[in-house]
């Protein structure tokens, strides 16, 4: 019993570390773009992330080959599709962070959470839990409060990040199904990271100038967000969610938004008004409710 409790405790600790890394990465994404454009920054950090996951992906590939389940053209197509969605979401977020705060980016990015079950209902005809509807409305009110109780104060950066919620949501909707089909979570991750890096690099070549001085200046932020946020944090999430209770995981991973706000205040000097604080609290409450309440219903059934 004690071993079981320790396993769950350690799994929760890994998920908390994952949320901490992801939340702090918003600061790295913001600081790194002082010297490197958003397209180049994304290409470099996802190339690093793919390199970190590559050894685990190689082991999965060998295991699939041994089992006679080597991925084919269909699986490769899905990896490219998911990598493209990931690229869209990340680039929109990264471009948005040029002209918004770390705190706003953290909370507005999380708007994809209530959007996922709504898309599932529209596309796959899966009826969402009733909490989705008030949570979606609550997120809209929270966004209104976060932007100063006036949607007219939404900056261009805020809008980029709000719109990034759609590709993020579609990606989340599909990634689990593709991973089950592929039977290789690390192989899928490495592949989609590589696709994101290649597409971003292709766009950067014709639109951004990358200098040696700028690359050196941004190297710390690129390394942190690439190695830790993309590569290590994903691995920690996979390991943690194998042992953590789903309800635990839902709440702990949602704390990414709070960590983004804390690191934004610490490193970037972000400050929120009373309206902004209320908006953050409301968005976080809605995110937790969307993930937690369906788990409670399943557990009690």
pLDDT over 90 (residue 297): no
Q: What is the average per-residue pLDDT within 70-86?
A: 88
pLDDT tens by residue, 187-216: 888 999 999 999 999 999 989 988 899 999
Residue 241, Cβ neighbours under 10 Å: how many?
18
DSSP letter string, 162-217: HHHHHHHHHHHHHHHHHHHHHT-HHHHHHHHHHHHHHHHHHHHHHH----HHHHHH
How far, CA to CA in Å, does 288 sit from each of 131, 216, 237, 239, 248? 11, 39, 17, 21, 10
pTM summary value: 0.82
What crossing angle do the helices spanning 212-223 and 2-32 adopt, rounded to 10°? 160
| 47 pLDDT higher than 80 | yes
- Residue position matching structure tokens 């290789």: 184
The tokens for 145 are: 């409060």
Contact between residue 223 and residue 29 where contact means Cβ atoms under 8 Å apart: no
Work out the average pLDDT over 9-23.
Answer: 85
Closest CA to 95 of 86, 105, 103, 85: 105
pLDDT for res 4: 40
Categorize the per-residue pLDDT at 1 as very low, low, confident or very high, splitting at 50, 70 and 90: very low
CB contact at 8 A, 206 and 70: no
Structure tokens at 10: 């350690």
Domain ranges of the chain: 13-300
Sole residue written with tokens 């079981």: 4
Provide the pLDDT confidence category of residue 3 given band limits of 50, 70 and 90: very low
Give the number of residues written for the chain: 301
24 exposure class (CB count in 10 Å sphere: 0-12, 13-18, 19+)? buried
Whether 123 has a pLDDT exceeding 60, the answer reads: yes
Asked if pLDDT for residue 95 goes beyond 80, the answer is yes
Q: Which residues contact 139 (CB under 8 A, 6 or more apart)?
A: 111, 114, 282, 283, 286, 287
Reported as a single tens digit per residue, the pLDDT across 217-275 is: 999 999 999 999 999 988 887 777 666 665 566 667 777 888 888 888 888 887 777 88
Residue 90: the pLDDT is 92
CA 269/CA 290 separation, integer angstroms: 31
Check pLDDT > 80 for residue 296: no
């Amino acid at each position: 019993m004690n071993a079981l409790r320790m396993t769950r405790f350690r799994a929760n600790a890994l998920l908390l570390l994952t949320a901490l890394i992801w939340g702090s990465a918003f600061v790295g994404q913001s600081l790194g773009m002082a010297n490197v454009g958003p397209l180049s920054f994304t290409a470099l950090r996802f190339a690093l992330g793919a390199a970190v996951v590559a050894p685990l992906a190689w082991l999965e590939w060998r295991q699939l080959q041994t089992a006679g389940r080597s991925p084919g053209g269909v699986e490769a197509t899905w990896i490219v599709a998911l990598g493209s969605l990931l690229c869209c979401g990340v680039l929109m977020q990264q471009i948005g962070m040029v002209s918004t705060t770390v705190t706003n980016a953290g909370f507005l990015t999380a708007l994809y959470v209530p959007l996922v079950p709504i898309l599932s209902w529209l596309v796959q005809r899966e009826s969402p839990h009733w909490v989705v509807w008030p949570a979606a409305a609550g997120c809209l009110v929270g966004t209104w409060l976060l932007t100063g109780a006036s949607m007219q104060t939404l900056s261009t950066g805020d809008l980029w990040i709000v719109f990034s919620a759609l590709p993020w949501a579609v990606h989340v909707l599909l990634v689990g199904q593709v991973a089950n089909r592929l039977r290789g979570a690390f192989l899928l991750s490495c592949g989609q990271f590589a696709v994101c890096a290649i597409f971003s690099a292709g766009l950067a070549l014709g639109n951004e100038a990358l200098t040696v001085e700028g690359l050196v200046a941004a190297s710390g932020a690129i390394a942190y967000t690439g190695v830790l946020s993309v590569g290590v944090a994903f691995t920690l999430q996979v390991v943690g969610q194998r042992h953590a209770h789903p309800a635990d995981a839902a709440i702990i991973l949602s704390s990414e938004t709070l960590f983004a706000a804390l690191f934004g205040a610490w490193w970037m000097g972000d400050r929120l008004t009373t309206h902004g604080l209320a908006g953050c609290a409301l968005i976080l409450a809605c995110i937790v409710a969307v993930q937690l309440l369906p788990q409670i219903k399943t557990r009690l059934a």
